[in-house]
């Protein structure tokens, strides 16, 4: 196998992982199986750098998925799953990071700020009668998520609990 062929194979697999669906970790594992173990695959021995690049692609997709449901512009789109799904995706990403021994410390503040901004926009839109709340979790679930993000709920808009599902 030539270096160019190896590079092209890896580039193709990076694209697959990077643009995977809802569970990038599964796409990563499928790619690793194909690249290393599949009898019909190239049966490569990946370098640490190559493995890290593939993991980076999966993590980038994970970050997109977490932030997708904290973007107020997505609330009325079919891709929107709600804050409850964000909470689930956040935990799934944390578990994935733990398994691959990678930290995402710089991402936590991004999610924290996106959550606060989302709640403010949601509160403003509901208060003006522009929409009904799309918050699909309880106040308790939201408080727990805020705790995991090191986010003080005092930063949430006044009356934010009314936006949540009844507990």
Residue 139 has what pLDDT?
A: 99
Domain ranges for the chain: 1-68, 81-167
**pLDDT for 84-112, tens place per residue?**
999 999 999 999 999 999 998 999 999 99
Tell me, what's the pLDDT at 20?
A: 87
Per-residue pLDDT band for 130 (boundaries 50, 70, 90) equals confident
DSSP class per residue in the chain: --HHHHHHHHHHHHHHHHT--S-HHHHHHHHHHHHHT-TTS------HHHHHHHHHHHHHHHHHHHHHTT-GGGTTSTT---HHHHHHHHHHHHHHHHHTT---TTHHHHHHHHHHHHHHHHHHHHHTTS------SBHHHHHHHHHHTT--GGGSPTTGGGGSBP-
Percent of the chain with pLDDT over 70: 98
Taking only the tens place, the pLDDT of each residue in 39-88 is 999 999 999 999 999 999 999 999 999 999 999 999 999 999 999 999 99
Tell me the whole-structure pTM to 2 decimals.
Answer: 0.91
Of the chain, the percentage scoring pLDDT greater than 90 comes to 93
């Amino acid at each position: 196998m030539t270096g160019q062929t190896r590079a092209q194979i890896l580039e193709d697999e990076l694209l697959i992982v990077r643009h995977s669906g809802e569970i990038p970790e599964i796409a990563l594992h499928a790619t690793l199986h194909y690249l290393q173990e599949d009898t019909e695959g190239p049966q490569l021995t990946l370098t640490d750098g190559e493995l890290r690049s593939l993991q980076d692609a999966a993590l980038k997709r994970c970050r997109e998925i977490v932030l997708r449901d904290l973007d107020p512009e997505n609330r009325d789109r079919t891709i929107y799953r709600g804050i409850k799904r964000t909470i689930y995706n956040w935990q799934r990403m944390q578990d994935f990071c733990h398994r691959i021994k990678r930290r995402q410390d710089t991402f936590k503040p991004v999610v924290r700020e996106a959550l606060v901004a989302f709640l403010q926009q949601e509160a403003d839109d509901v208060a003006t009668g522009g929409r009904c709340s799309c918050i699909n979790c309880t106040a308790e679930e939201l408080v727990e998520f805020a705790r995991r993000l090191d986010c003080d709920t005092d930063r949430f808009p006044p009356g934010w609990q009314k936006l949540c599902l009844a507990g």
